[in-house]
Amino acid sequence: MARSTSSSTARIGTVSLVGAGPGDPDLLTLRAARLIADASVVVHDGLVGAEILAMAPRDARLISVAKSRARHTMKQEDICALLVREALAGNDVVRLKGGDPLIFGRGGEEAEACRAAGVPVQIVPGISAAQAAASLAEIPLTHRDHASIVSFVAGQCKGLSEQDWSGLAGVGRTLVIYMGVATAAQISEKLMEDGLAPDAAVAVVERASLPGMRVLRGVLAGLPDIVADNEVRSPALIVIGEVTREPDAALAHFAMEAQQ
């Protein structure tokens, strides 16, 4: 990609919404790596690690828009305005997001803002947190015998208790919960109130693809204790369904069902 030019040419840069994957630089796509290596400006989330940011040119400007549950460096509307402003100034902007830009990444909002301002935008998919966590933990999100439906939900959202999650988890289904560590107790209670059995199998995958990755397994009723007792911290995903059982335990469980 070209670098920024003088204002007399009135060049408009491109905004690339790039999925940075789960964190390990080896899991970036080749296209993502090329775009980062030629960016004028990199606007990145807090979960994008230093090794990935180091792939940007030395003269590139790195702008953090890190968000946490308690504090946002920049409001979403301001992030959208920043992307548009930088592109209209002639800069090629890489907007780096953990996982995939369009799975709980607000990439759709940012793309809409760019298009409305006449800024060219492209979206580069990344390995989602759900894909990475499940694969690296050897949890098949789908399985011909055990799960043919997968649902993704956000565990941190307004009106969590009022949402209807009935049918998202249970027999033949896998439920993946993003951003659910801080609300694990509410999630456990909510799912049981919506009809899921207290002994439903769960797994918490912390720091997928990164040093210190952990896979913690248990049952739904014990989810709050799993998170609290092990001091689980973000990034972490919660996976609920029979596919999360330990392989040997899963075989025994389904063999017992077959005999009944």
Q: Name the DSSP class of 115.
A: H
45, 97, 100, 190: the catalytic one is 45
Q: Which residues pair with 37 in a beta bridge?
A: none
- Burial label, 89 (beta-carbon count in 10 A; 0-12, 13-18, 19+): middle
Q: How many residues does the chain have?
A: 260
Of the residues 24, 38, 59, 67, which is catalytic?
Answer: 67
Q: Which two tokens stand for residue 235?
A: 């990034």
Q: Yes or no: say if 69 and 120 are a contact pair by the CB < 8 Å rule.
A: no
CA 89 from centroid of its chain's CA atoms: 30
Q: What is the separation of C-alpha 111 from the centre of its chain, rounded to a whole number of angstroms?
A: 18
Pair 154, 178: CB distance under 8 Å? yes
Q: Are 124 and 96 in contact (CB under 8 A)?
A: no
Active-site residue 45, yes or no?
yes
- What is the residue type of 98? G
How many Cα atoms are found within 13 Å in the side-chain-facing hemisphere of 197?
Answer: 9
Regarding beta strands 41-44 and 61-64, do their DSSP bridges make them parallel or antiparallel, or are they unpaired?
A: parallel
Spatial distance between the Cα atoms of 35 and 20, rounded to a whole number of angstroms: 11
Q: Tell me the catalytic residues.
A: 45, 67
